[in-house]
Structure formats: structure tokens, C-alpha cells
A and B are shown apart, each in its own frame.
Chain A
């Protein structure tokens, strides 16, 4: 962890607002250059000794003005940009945009495309949670899970590359369906992967979840109560760790999620360990969903017939989807042209980050990494 202590003017300590702080108060910077896990996040932390008084995130170090840029891209073109926003769940982001455009065009997606989309979503969710798991363990000092996590991720990336053509930012979802049909090897490779992965999850549980040091570092740390989780707009595993029902796949089902059987994982403790357990159990649920669907892919078209140049009718459309981090919303305001008038991406990380200050007050500086690890932030998603 790279920290740069900011002591200015021969031992006079100045707070982040420019006022003099009291005796023993210190302001330190974490970031923007981290050891490569979270991205470029700059936190200005006010400490009293080693206890955190206030955490102030400074964002914008990867603000690429995507919303302004999308106002000049057509409805088929802007989908690729959302892959780069939350790059760990790139399929799911693309899916959310495609759902919004389909809502505007009132296009029906064929059943084969729906099942393929759900399979890709769940594979992406497994890959994202694997990377989160490896990175979080590395943040807390355990280097081995990082390599195990990437080993599984590489298998998924290879499966994706065979079908979609790319490993990380695949533009596979288009308005109306998916871009190509799945590769003939897809089903067999996914089945082999599932069989391998089922045994691995238990191994990972033993390695990290049952580790006494890990449990001591995360139990009771960063408690977020249910009302605060709702008030801060948290979603995804952060809110489910505090007991809030917010899984979009259950509340507002899209594609074939109302036809598959899976549980919504809820924990009530609200601390870092609860959020960790939610994600690990979600891995198992994703595997369960894939198992139900992989043998039952219906025949048919993989893409509905749409015009080459899409024009959404005048109006506003909002669609929401459950990414690995929470609720991703796409809000399109259209004036009837070929490009959107205004697009707003409601990113899950932005709201989850706003709860960081509240969660970490009173804890020690070493606990901050445990809390940030369980929030699973991807900074380009926050800055857009």
C-alpha cells in the first residue's frame, strides 16, 4: 500500500479543508496510484493516531466523459463504451444497454439469445467474483489466492474468447440479441469448467474463509445497518450483506431469470465478513444457474431482425440489471434522432463508495483495506 504522508510547514498539521487540526491529528493520502487492485482512487484520510476520523474520496482520475461522448454515438455504437466502464462485468453492462434500447424499440429477443445472454452473464459474474476474491485476499496480505483466482479466470476468458473474440471487453450483446452464435465447443467447455469449479469452491472456502486471521480482520469491521444501506443507495452484495432485498434478478426479472431456480443470498450482520460471504455464496448460485441452462439452450435465431440504423422514439427509458457490483441503470432520453439526447449511467460503485466514510469511522487505518475490499470498487465505473 503506497501512502504519502502530507506534513506541511514544519510540524503544523493541516486538515483537508485547510484548517488547523488538533493535537495528534494527521492527514494522509492513499492513492491515486495503488498497487494495481482498485484503480485510481484518491482517499484523503484524517487520522487521530491510528483511528480514522474521516475518509474523503477524491474522484475523477479516470473520468473519461463517457456520458458526453455517448451523445454523439449511435445506438449501436455506444454499447462498446460501457464495456470499458465496469470492465470486470463487461457483458452485463452491455446487456443492460441492449435491454434499454430494446425497451425503446419494443423488440422481442428470441429465446435462444436470451439463454445465451444469461449464460454469459453468469460466467462473467463468476469471473468478476473470482478476481474480487483474489484481489481482496491480496490486499489483506495473502498472495496465494490471487494466482488461484486468475487460474479460474483464465479458463473463463478462454471460453469467452472462442465465442466472442475477446477476453476482457467483448462487444457481444447487440440490441435484439447477440452478435454471433455460440461456438460448437461452448457447451462442452462450460460443462467441463463447472465440474472443475465445483470442487475448487470448497477448496477456496477452506483456504480463506476458514482462516482465523482473515475472520478476525473482517468480522465486526465496517458495519452498515439496513436503513443506512438503503439511505446510501447501496445495492448488490454490499446491501445484501446488510439484509436488504435488492437482487434485480429476483425483483424485476429480465430474460429467463424468472424461469431458473436460484436463491437470493442475504446476510444480516452487515459487517465485512457478511459481504464476503454473500459473494462467495453467489458464486455457488451462479454455478447452479449455469447448470440448469447449459443443456437446454433452445434452437432458433440468435438475433432479432432490427434495422441497420436504430432510432428510438421520443421519450425516456430506464432499464436496470444486476452486475457483479450491484444495480446498473441505463437512462436514455431520446428526442427521436439516431443518437441519444442524454444518457445517464447509474453506476453501482458510485453509491457504494458514498457509504465508505460512514462505515470506516472509528476503525483503524489497517481496517480500511478490509472494508474497501468488500465494497468491490471498480473506479472507472464510479468516474465514468
Chain B
């Protein structure tokens, strides 16, 4: 990708302790040299607040990830916000039906930039087990809002959701937000 600021995978997926940049120790203090985008992306990815949006069974696996065995607050998803105005990432856990699709769009619109979407479970990816012979299921949440990460499974294991969250963090650390990409592509 042209807009990858940091092609080095090792430092892009660095743990929370590593700061993206170079530090120079000098007597009396130190100097940190980094690029502004790197620092902002590092801060954004390590503190994504999810919106509590669970329609059906995958919601229970999301709640399992939130509880103590597969904790996701150690990755920065500590505060699960109930209102979209304060959330960064929306994890679509469950089936989206025709009646719920405008509600989902409204929630997505209310979120502030930069915002990310994770489609969890087979139903959110493509309609899942309810693909054939149903008159009311939207066959995939990406018919409604743009999705960043897809997690297969019915329901996916909590470790799969954690893997997806880490992948999202890598994606954020390694590139620009969707709006920035669109703005760049519009320029000649």
C-alpha cells in the first residue's frame, strides 16, 4: 500500500511498551524522534473504545471477551461505551435484519472520526446460517456500513475476537484512516 507509513511489521505490531520512534539518551534527559502520524496512530490503536452493540448470539462471546478470562481491556478496550458519540470501534456481533439496518447506519453516523468497524460472526459477514430462504436478513453488514475486519465463526471463539482486535490495531498503526485515504485519492 502506498500510504503505509510503517512497513516494518515488527515495529508496527510492537507491544504497548514500545514507543514508535527513536530515543536518544543525552546527559540531562533524552530526545525522541518520530513522525507525528506514527505517534497519533500508536495512541489511537492502543485506546479503542468499543460500542456495546450485540444483536444476537455473538454478543455473548463478546461479553465473554469482556470478562475476566479473555480480558480485552488489557489491549486498551477497557471502557465499553453505551453511546456511539464516545466510541471508536463498533463490533457488529450478530445478525442484521432489515428492521435493524437503519438503526445501525444511524449509530455509525453518530460516531466521530476516526471510526472502525469489526464484523463478528458469520451473520455479520454474509448473512451466515440465515442466507437462504429468509425474507428479512441483510446478507452481510457491509451492505450497510463499511467494514474493516471480518471474523469468521458461528460464534467465533473469544481468541478469534482478540486476534481481530489486534489485527485492527496493526491496521491502524500501519496506515491512515479511511477518510484520510479518501482525501488522498481525491487529490490529483
Contact = CB atoms under 8 A, between A and B. Distances in A.
Interface of A: 1-2, 32-36, 39-40, 60-66, 68-69, 71-72, 80-81, 83-84, 87-88, 131, 146-147, 150-151, 153-154, 157, 167-169, 379-380
B24 interface: no
B135 A87 contact: no
Q: Taking chain B's interface residues, is the majority helix, strand, or loop, or is none over half, making it mixed?
A: loop
A380 B100 CA distance: 13
Interface string B79-108: 010110000000000110101100100010
Contacts of B103: 32-33, 61
Contacts of B129: 80-81, 84
Interface residues of B, number: 36
A168 B59 CA distance: 11
Nearest to B130: A64
B132 interface: yes
Contacts of B134: 64-65, 68-69
B115 interface: no
A39 B64 contact: no
A333 to B, nearest CB: 18
B155 interface: yes
Contacts of B7: none
Contact of A2 (B82, B99, B136): B82
Given A36-B63, A153-B64, 15 more contacts: A2-B82, A33-B53, A33-B107, A36-B80, A60-B99, A61-B55, A62-B100, A64-B95, A68-B135, A69-B130, A69-B132, A154-B69, A168-B155, A169-B154, A380-B55
Nearest to A73: B133
Contacts of B68: 147, 150-151
Nearest to A64: B130
B62 interface: yes
B12 interface: no
A350 to B, nearest CB: 16
A83 B128 CA distance: 14
B145 interface: no
B60 A62 contact: no
Chain B CB within 10 Å, residue with most, of A64, A68, A379: A64
A380 B67 CA distance: 22
A82 to B, nearest CB: 11
Given A69-B132, A167-B157, A146 B67 contact: yes
B40 interface: no
Contacts of A80: 129
B38 interface: no
B136 A380 contact: no
A36 B64 contact: no
A154 B66 CA distance: 12
Contacts of A153: 64
8 contacts: A33-B52, A63-B136, A64-B136, A64-B137, A65-B133, A69-B133, A84-B57, A168-B155
Contact of B95 (A62, A69, A88, A168): A62
Contact of A65 (B54, B55, B64, B137): B137
Contacts of A71: 133
Nearest to A161: B157
Contacts of A72: 132-133
B56 interface: yes
A167 B65 CA distance: 13
Contact of B57 (A1, A32, A380): A380
Contacts of A168: 57, 60-61, 155
A69 B132 CA distance: 7
B154 to A, nearest CB: 7
B60 A88 contact: yes
Nearest to A134: B67
Contacts of A63: 97, 99, 136
A84 B69 contact: no
Given A87-B57, A131-B60, A380-B56, A61 B97 contact: yes
A124 B155 CA distance: 17
A363 to B, nearest CB: 23
Contacts of A34: 52, 82
Contacts of A1: 82
A150 B94 contact: no
B142 to A, nearest CB: 18
A39 B59 contact: yes
A87 B53 CA distance: 17
A64 B100 CA distance: 11
A332 to B, nearest CB: 17
A158 B133 CA distance: 34
B104 to A, nearest CB: 9
Given A60-B99, A146-B67, A169-B154, A36 B135 contact: no
B2 to A, nearest CB: 37
Interface in B97-156: 97, 99-100, 103, 107, 129-130, 132-137, 154-155
Which 8 A-B residue pairs are closest in the complex by CB-CB distance?
A150-B67, A36-B52, A87-B57, A65-B134, A35-B82, A36-B54, A61-B100, A35-B52
